[in-house]
Structures are given as C-alpha cells and as structure tokens.
Structure 1
Amino acid sequence: MNLNMRITMNNVNTDVIQHNKLPNLVLDKLMDWIMDGKLHMGEKLNTEELASKLGVSRMPIREALSSMEKMGLAESIPYVGTRLAKLTQEDVRQIYIARQALEPVAASYACNKVTEKDIELLEKIHEQYKMTVRQDEVPAKEIYILNRYYHFSIYNISGLTRICSMIESLWDCLSFFKLIYGQKFIKDKNDRENMILEHESYLQALKMKDSDKLYKLLWDNLAKRIEDIPYDATAYFEE
C-alpha cells in the first residue's frame, strides 16, 4: 500500500478510466455507501441496478461484488443473489474471541524476528495514521485501511503464514462492523487518541523485543473490544 495514497471515489467515467481499474472504483464507491448508511446489512445488491447507477457495465460490478465476498462484506445466496453480510452481536463476539486467541500469538512471535527495516516501516505507517486521525475531517475508510495495514505489518513479521491467513479471514468477516464502527470512532477525539496510544505501545514493545508485553497488550485491548460490542448489533450497524 502506498502510504501517500488517499482513498477517494469520484464519478465513474468509462471514457477515461481503464477497464481494469473499474472494479476497484466500483468497490470503493460501494464501501462509501456502506459507511454513509446508503447500504445496510442484509441488503440485496442488484447487479443491473448498480451498473445503471454507476454508469458502468455489469462486469466490473460482478468483479467488485466478488471482492466484497472475499472481504466478508457480502455473501452469495443460491436463488437469491448477492447481499451485504449480516452479523449478530454473537457473531461479532465470537469473531473477536477467535482474534484474541490468534493475534497476540502472531505479535509475540514477531518480536523474535523484527528487524530495523520492519520498525522503520511501522513507524512510517504510524505517522501516516496519526496525521490521518488528527485531521479536522477524518476519512473513516482510510483509517480502517491504515489500521489494518499496521496490524498485519506486525503479524506478518512472525512468519506464521497459516495463522496470519486465519487472522486475515477473521478481519474480513468483521469488515462491515469495522467500517461502520469507524464512522462513530472518528467523532470522538479521545477514541482517536487512545488508538494512537495503542499503536505506539505495540511499536515500543516490538522495539524492545518484549514478546510477553506485546502479547498482553493485544490480549487486553481485544478483551476491551469484546466487552464493548453493542447490545443490539443490527441496530448499531444500521444507524
């Protein structure tokens, strides 16, 4: 990921944009609509309607919907079609419990393999993250992407490819939750500063190669996430 990249979506112009870029632009727009509350959990996604709204053919729509399925944002239902994912409070809780079991392990192993080059990359991502969350108008989607990039830049250092793959799958399942949560997160300055402090604590533990400390930091922070899952998850997502 280019740290200088800003995630934006302008009007789709099929005369200017190359065909192979259209699916990404369509995906970008659909993610914007999710965060703006224009698309809701469980909502059916009609290929022809979306193609008409965006002024593109059905092929980039299908490719974008396929990407959304891989990200955990949508699901394909036989005889029904594609619809946005729908998570219950219990679904979210169990996914976080699974994350709590795996992510501290990957992070602690990363402490044993981290290099100066790894630290430099993490510092760059963290600086970009700080600048982004402290803007007057905070882009929720960019925060989501940078946060994910930061975490997986840590986990992948571990070399535990199978575990990292499982963690990535869990993050994909929570994509809808994280995107919508991001809209609420950016409204609270204290929440934003606390996330910066969390990232800094991970970085310091990595620099010290203190695997026990990093394990505990992640375990405790994920425990807080489990405790803070809203009672009525569906209503939370659709606000």
Structure 2
Amino acid sequence: MAKLGYDESDNLVNSLRGRVFNKLRKQILTGAYKPGDSLIELRLSEELGVSRTPIREAIRQLELEGLVTSIPNKGAVVKGVTDQDVEDIFTIRTMIEGLAARWAAEKITEEEIVELKEALEFEEFFTIKNDAEHLMKYDSRFHDIIFRACKSRPLMHMLSTFHHYIQNARNNSFETPGRPAKALDEHRAIFEAISRKDGETAEKLTVEHIRNASRIFHQKHQK
C-alpha cells in the first residue's frame, strides 16, 4: 500500500485536530466543561481516542479564542463565556448581522432560497411539536444559510463563531414562553425580504430580531 503523500497526511492531521477542537469547544460552550475545570491531556486523549498531539493543539487554539487559560503548575483551565461576553456579542451582532442579511438579499442564489425556505418549514414544524432540540438545529441552519448567502467569508466566519459562543443563551431564549413562535414569525419576515431581494428591509428586520433576543437575555439575567 502506498504511503500518504505529505499534503494528504497533513490534511488528515488538520482534520483530526479540527474535530478535536470542535468537540472540546462545544463541550465548553454547552457547559459540559465549566469555568475552573482542568483540561487534562492524558484523560482527554483516552476519552476521545486520539494521541495527545491533537489534544495539545486544540487546547492551544481554545486558548487563542479565550475559552481556556494556561495556569502554571495546573495546565489548561476552562474560562468559558461570561454574561458580559454574551452581551458584547449581541451588541456586535446588531451592528454586523443586518449587513449579512442585506448582502444575502443581494447575492442569494435560487438554490439557497430553497434551502432557506426548507429550514424555515422545519423550524415551523418543530415549533408546533415543541421540540426544542430540533428547533435549535433548524434555527441555526436558517442563520447559517444567510451567512453563507452573503458571500463574505470574513463575515460568515465571524457570525458563525458568535452563534457558537452564545449557544447557551440561545437555548435559554427558546425556553421563554412564546419566544419560539415569535422568533419563527421574525424569521418568516426576514425570509420574505431576502427572497424578494429587499436588502434594506432584510437588514432592518434582522437587527430587530437580534435586539429581541438580546432583550430576553437581559430580562433573564436581571437581579
């Protein structure tokens, strides 16, 4: 059997490192690993069935993203996402996610419009079924399609990262009575604006959608 060439083998390593990073980031952002928890390379290596090298690289990337910090004689410790981080992300999203919706309205393809409509239909189905897990999946897909349709890689990457970071806040938002149905109505209006290529309205509706989610977060965290 022929050995893998350098490029192929490098791609495999990068792919493995990426999967480990995504797994650990998800566990931190969903609260499986809480602030103050230690990320022990040997234990993670055994749990994930990989060598310590991709674990070490993933932890280094998590540190660059500010989700973990290295403490002398203790190793990598989870920092997680604070309430202030979430507030900051909501504020930034109100400034740039509307732009993504405007650009999506201008650049979206017919295939992406079909995808967006399908995500909306699934969101409606799971809203009626009161199935929070699947509802969140298609709510995220709705936004992801818009990010992709805006045809801006920097904007898409930034907004996708933000969505990961506020996953818990978004989950909590959907536990608020009446919010899933209201969010669905907001998505319907955004879809209609994008599908008729009305960038100005799509931007305005998206900003209002994010502000509504932000208000719910503030209400839940008021003392």
TM-score if structure 1 supplies the norm length?
0.66
Which of 23, 43, 46 is 1:49 aligned to?
43
Whether 1:75 and 2:68 are equivalent positions in the alignment is: yes
Which of 143, 147, 154 is 2:139 aligned to?
147
Counterpart secondary structure, 1:228: helix
Shift of 1:85: 3.6
Counterpart of 1:93 in structure 2 is: 87
Question: Once superposed, what is the RMSD of the aligned Cα atoms?
Answer: 3.9
- What is the rounded CA distance, in whole Å, between the counterparts of 1:82 and 1:101 in structure 2? 33
Higher RCO structure (Cα 8 Å, ≥6 apart): 1
Mark the CA change 1:145 to 1:83 in structure 2 (over 3 Å): closer, same or farther: farther
- What is the rounded CA distance, in whole Å, between the counterparts of 1:43 and 1:58 in structure 2? 18
Q: Deviations over 1:126-167 (max 9, x none)?
A: 23333444445532xx55454333213213323333333333
Equivalent runs, 1:200-211 vs 2, <5 Å: 200-211=188-199
Mark the CA change 1:191 to 1:77 in structure 2 (over 3 Å): closer, same or farther: same
Counterpart of 1:157 in structure 2 is: 149
- What is the rounded CA distance, in whole Å, between the counterparts of 1:53 and 1:159 in structure 2? 38
Shift of 1:201: 1.4
Counterpart of 1:213 in structure 2 is: 201
Identity %: 20
Shift of 1:74: 2.7
Whether 1:104 and 2:90 are equivalent positions in the alignment is: no
Mark the CA change 1:23 to 1:210 in structure 2 (over 3 Å): closer, same or farther: closer
- Contact 1:43–1:83 (CA under 8 A) maintained in structure 2: yes
- Contact 2:87–2:214 (CA under 8 A) maintained in structure 1: yes
Question: Number of residue pairs matched?
Answer: 210
- What is the rounded CA distance, in whole Å, between the counterparts of 1:30 and 1:100 in structure 2? 24
Shift of 1:205: 0.7
- Contact 1:112–1:211 (CA under 8 A) maintained in structure 2: yes
Shift of 1:107: 1.0
- More helix per residue: 2
Whether 1:138 and 2:132 are equivalent positions in the alignment is: yes
Counterpart secondary structure, 2:34: coil
Q: Which runs of 5+ in 2 are unaligned?
A: 1-12
The structure whose Rg is larger is 2
- What is the rounded CA distance, in whole Å, between the counterparts of 2:53 and 2:35 in structure 1? 23
- What is the rounded CA distance, in whole Å, between the counterparts of 1:157 and 1:197 in structure 2? 21
Whether 1:114 and 2:108 are equivalent positions in the alignment is: yes
1:74 counterpart letter in structure 2: L
Mark the CA change 1:45 to 1:135 in structure 2 (over 3 Å): closer, same or farther: farther
Q: Which runs of 5+ in 1 are unaligned?
A: 1-18
TM-score if structure 2 supplies the norm length?
0.70
Whether 1:167 and 2:156 are equivalent positions in the alignment is: no
